[in-house]
Structure 1
Amino acid sequence: MVGELNYLLGLQIKQCKEGIFISQTKYAQNLVKRFGLEKARYMRTPMSMNQKLTKDEHGKDIDPSLYTSMIGSLLYLTASRPDISFSVGGCARYEATPKESHLKAVKRIIRYVYGTVEYGIWYSKDSNSHLAGNSDADWAVNINDRKSTLGGCFYLGNNLVTWYSKK
């Protein structure tokens, strides 16, 4: 035996008598540094409630490789961060032709991650085997194609076991 599992595929795992905590704190800190936002003011929410992302056909073009790199890094972070799944999924729709407004939204998510690097998922040992699920839809809010975004999560007892956000 090598010992107790502490780190696996970028996931930090802390085991104790009460349960298991899984996070990506180190990865999140490196992500913020990699994109030069460690000196920026952190955000309290990953996305603004008032701003709706659109194709922004008249917006200024940006480097697609930078945008794709940011989105890919954030998508990997959603393995332990369901709080950013919806926002990252919304920004990922514009990878083909990213504009300055899309980059601003992605940077906001990274600034939110900066303020919440210690977030993760807690799996309690004191839980029951009751399976419960929740889902919701925004009913065709997307301005470009009038499609809905669906989201949901499933719990086994008090423990979140899966989540999704899908157009």
Structure 2
Amino acid sequence: MEDSTPAKTPMATTTKLDQDESGKKVDITHYRGMIGSLLYLTASCPDIMFAICLCVRFQADPKESHLIAVKRIFRYLKGTLNLGIWYPKDTGFDLIGYTDSDYASCKIDQKSTSGSSDQITYIFIKPLDEATFSKLVSELGMLNLST
């Protein structure tokens, strides 16, 4: 990886990962270790979250095509070592996230691969009034354990 060329994006726009039944199997332990390392980095590099979550789906039976996608994420990180998010202590700031839903991009089950992450993000970064909290709990099917 040291001699590899940095990638400009974590995943190519034309990449459509599937189960790749006929693909060559790779070492599961090595693949899961790479995924775990990448998941750790998502706190300061949220731009890799989508690509990682797509690769996480194939941890049970990873193939060479999945490993190539994971290595591309590492190549992207190699080229963006000076980028990240710093969360200042005791200062008020608003973190606003945007999502672009693509409901048919998943070749396996044709379900949304981005879902309602903007609502989930909103829950964790903003204090909510009781009405908004109740609405999100009912929409997302969450349990309210405080009552």
SS of aligned partner of 2:118: strand
CA 1:128–1:139: 2 relative to 1, 3 Å: same
| Native 8 Å contact 1:71 1:88 kept in 2 | yes
- Indicate the residue corresponding to 2:33 in structure 1: 69
SS of aligned partner of 2:38: helix
- Indicate the residue corresponding to 2:70 in structure 1: 106
Cα shift at 1:135: 3.8
- Indicate the residue corresponding to 2:143 in structure 1: none
Q: Say yes or no: does 1:115 pair with 2:54.
A: no
- Indicate the residue corresponding to 2:43 in structure 1: 79
CA 1:66–1:147: 2 relative to 1, 3 Å: same
* Higher helix fraction (1 or 2): 2
* Higher strand fraction (1 or 2): 1
| Number of residue pairs aligned between Structure 1 and Structure 2 | 120
In the superposition, the TM-score normalised over structure 2's length comes to 0.71
Identity rate of aligned residues, in percent?
Answer: 50
Distance 1:117 1:131 in 2: 22
Unaligned ranges ≥5, structure 1: 1-36, 156-160, 163-167
| Native 8 Å contact 2:44 2:86 kept in 1 | no
Give matches, 1:83-94, under 5 Å: 83-94=47-58
SS of aligned partner of 1:60: coil
Q: Per-residue displacement from partner, 1:103-143 (whole Å, max 9, x unpaired)?
A: 00000000000111121114579x87667554442113211
Query: What is the Cα-based RMSD across aligned positions, in Å?
Result: 2.5
